[in-house]
Structure 1
């Protein structure tokens, strides 16, 4: 018995049944929904948000020009939505086949956020193995991609022709998959490289380093062109005679194509150059200007070439060196392994950049404005072979530095 005032020493135990597995993580902080419902609802919300973004530019133009029929605004909104998903659009009587990659990336990000939120709603048992977790991720991706694609199947024939509907539906499938796959993987804390060898698991990081270096160099080249041709850009904008709302629309349009412009600059710094119609080409050491669209950003296109253009080729070399160095870092390869692993990292980084650049090609009209964008097939080999060679040098440099440092440490210990 316990005397009055004596502290209690009673212990309360709660035993769970053997068949009741504890969840791996607590319930989500957001309002709980069954994960299939969350994947469906939030993906449809993402599709609706992209439609609203597509309608923003025509609505702003309609506000600026009161005589524009409301039906034309609805039609333009649908055409921008089609262009976002890779279908050629008809805007103001002009065929536009150049994808606004800025809006496309927003669509992929929205699908990724929807898939990650659905993953947050999923509570797996503690004994769930990797296979069960991957099946769960596949279920989220399947519902998200199906919801977005079905929305495109319904909307595309309504806002466009049958010729536009097919590429738009295919593009919607790719865009939703591009966002949903990483969203589900991140939401369920999965590691796609868990079973891969340690050296191969470093490939995504090396790819990111190489592609990131290319992106940084491309942005720098684009900024230099914009600043050095600021007067031409301002003159072209003034010649359009637009008011405040019109200027805002122009800025929004150019921001929608900002990733496209970066990929164009990347093709320039890699040496392949950019085609500006059948008769136009801008590349290091070669500038031929044909007909350009009346868009202010095209005022940044150089009219002459100079020896300083060749200095931009260093961007690709640095990107390959960076990818190779990151690939070999924190591993213990032999001399041959350091070379080919570094070359692999540089090659993959360049190939991914070239693949992304392929989606930055298209038309802004017919004839003189057809076939704009990075020059292929030159970009395929100029983005892979030089970066692979530089990647091999980067891997060997890291290995050589590591061996030199180890030899110096041994000499210090011996002394």
Structure 2
């Protein structure tokens, strides 16, 4: 035997392990994309992202991709949104007129309620109604405001259909507003034809033209606002002009707000007379609700007339009448609860102090103007400040005169053929008083601010 015969024989598993080479260790693999945060922390650089050629989009393809809002053609979108505006605005009018017709001694059917309700809706746009007692042209301003709001919303939705937010051109917004105006005029003409009877006549052509103009103004306002154009156009105006327009609008709202407050106080003091007036009709709860609804739809008209009472010119409730703080000449007043607040006699000589109401409105607007300019400019120069304050007077006067013009009208052909405030005297007095108030308040606020800054 050889010398290594003393060693024990190797086991089979050990022999196989010695015969086969051991596997070399595998190199450490790179971290997957899921461990991107760890890879960025280790390498100090973010991993490079690649996009497959099929996923890349050219700018032209992105621009040409249709959005969800551009699915409906503009004529269809304008017709549908405008029809919805008509339905929403006319429904409360139909309910109020239906309740009011319960007071009538003659029985009425659903067709008569629909005709009268749609006629009242047309009246809210300024379309007169001809009856056997004469023309009715006193516009209920609540109906006007509701209709304007809904048509503006129709303009917004029509503008979204053509994608005004995705373009820098004003053309799509204008087309949307025009489409809404045309559709509104078509609906007005159709309704004017449908409501006319022997005892209540409405000119279909006048209804179509009036509602077309109304729809153009409100529809364009909504469409242009959706595209952000009013803000862009205002930004191009000189700063003093912008400040004057804003301050005049604030002053006009304050004057009308004072008129609304005066109307509310007068109704509160005459609540007993208004309640007796409602009780004289001897009708049920629904009929009384109709009387209250009539008073509510004409409440903004009364606020304008009360503002004219505060400013000085006053208003009329029929031909040959006059209601002002200095003189009251009244005849027979319609038995409507809202008119129970009309004063029956003139105020004492101290009533001239009522002119302090529009003066105070102008002073508040002037103070707000100066406060805004102090925050934006620090210490504005005198010419720009006084120019903006003086411009607020004509702006407020024009706005109040326009409100007086649309708040008046007629209820019949005889005594009640003239109701409302005279626009031009009211606008003239408002211009002078508001301009004086804004200039005084703006100048005083500027001087006080200078005094406070001195050590």
SS at match of 1:209: helix
Matched, 1:318 2:360: yes
Matched, 1:202 2:243: yes
Matched, 1:44 2:86: no
1:115 — aligned with what?
A: 155
Gaps of 5+ in 1: none
Q: In structure 1, how many angstroms separate the alpha carbons of the residues matched to 2:176 and 2:236?
A: 22
In structure 1, which of residues 348, 370, 373 is the aligned counterpart of residue 420 of structure 2? Answer: 373
In structure 1, which of residues 375, 390, 406 is the aligned counterpart of residue 437 of structure 2? Answer: 390
SS at match of 1:3: coil
1:233 — aligned with what?
A: 274
Matched length: 402
Kindly state the Cα deviation for residue 12 of structure 1 after the two structures are TM-superposed. Answer: 4.1
Deviations 1:172-198, CA, capped at 9 Å, x for gaps: 134323422331132122322121122
Matched, 1:289 2:330: yes
Matched, 1:185 2:232: no
Matched, 1:68 2:115: no
SS at match of 1:109: helix
Distance 1:296 1:349, change over 3 A: same
Equivalent pair of 1:76/1:91 in contact (CA under 8 Å) = no
SS at match of 2:345: coil
Equivalent pair of 1:291/1:369 in contact (CA under 8 Å) = no
Which has the higher mean CA deviation after the structures are superposed, 380-389 or 163-172? 163-172
Distance 1:281 1:64, change over 3 A: closer
Distance 1:124 1:353, change over 3 A: closer
2:39 — aligned with what?
A: none
SS at match of 1:377: helix
Deviations 1:51-88, CA, capped at 9 Å, x for gaps: 43432233334567782244433432342133122122
Please show how residues 5-404 of structure 1 align to structure 2 within 5 Å: 6=32, 7=35, 9=47, 11-13=49-51, 15-21=56-62, 33-34=72-73, 36-61=75-100, 67-90=107-130, 93=133, 95-123=135-163, 128-129=167-168, 132=169, 134-160=170-196, 164-190=203-229, 191=231, 192-307=233-348, 309-328=351-370, 329-330=372-373, 331=377, 333-404=380-451
2:12 — aligned with what?
A: none
Kindly state the Cα deviation for residue 32 of structure 1 after the two structures are TM-superposed. Answer: 6.0
Q: In structure 2, how many angstroms separate the alpha carbons of the residues matched to 1:16 and 1:166?
A: 53
Distance 1:291 1:241, change over 3 A: same
Distance 1:383 1:2, change over 3 A: farther
Q: In structure 2, how many angstroms separate the alpha carbons of the residues matched to 1:265 and 1:79?
A: 27
Asked which structure has the greater CA Rg, the reply is 2
Q: In structure 2, how many angstroms separate the alpha carbons of the residues matched to 1:220 and 1:125?
A: 41
Distance 1:154 1:71, change over 3 A: closer
Distance 1:67 1:117, change over 3 A: same
Equivalent pair of 2:164/2:226 in contact (CA under 8 Å) = no
Q: In structure 1, how many angstroms separate the alpha carbons of the residues matched to 2:404 and 2:423?
A: 9
Kindly state the Cα deviation for residue 220 of structure 1 after the two structures are TM-superposed. Answer: 1.1
SS at match of 1:291: coil
Q: In structure 1, how many angstroms separate the alpha carbons of the residues matched to 2:248 and 2:381?
A: 21
Kindly state the Cα deviation for residue 333 of structure 1 after the two structures are TM-superposed. Answer: 4.3
Kindly state the Cα deviation for residue 157 of structure 1 after the two structures are TM-superposed. Answer: 3.3
Q: In structure 1, how many angstroms separate the alpha carbons of the residues matched to 2:367 and 2:126?
A: 36
Q: In structure 2, how many angstroms separate the alpha carbons of the residues matched to 1:120 and 1:355?
A: 31
SS at match of 1:272: coil
Equivalent pair of 1:156/1:164 in contact (CA under 8 Å) = yes
Kindly state the Cα deviation for residue 27 of structure 1 after the two structures are TM-superposed. Answer: 5.6
Distance 1:327 1:244, change over 3 A: same
Q: In structure 1, how many angstroms separate the alpha carbons of the residues matched to 2:389 and 2:381?
A: 12
Q: In structure 2, how many angstroms separate the alpha carbons of the residues matched to 1:92 and 1:239?
A: 25
Q: In structure 1, how many angstroms separate the alpha carbons of the residues matched to 2:160 and 2:353?
A: 48
Equivalent pair of 2:255/2:361 in contact (CA under 8 Å) = yes
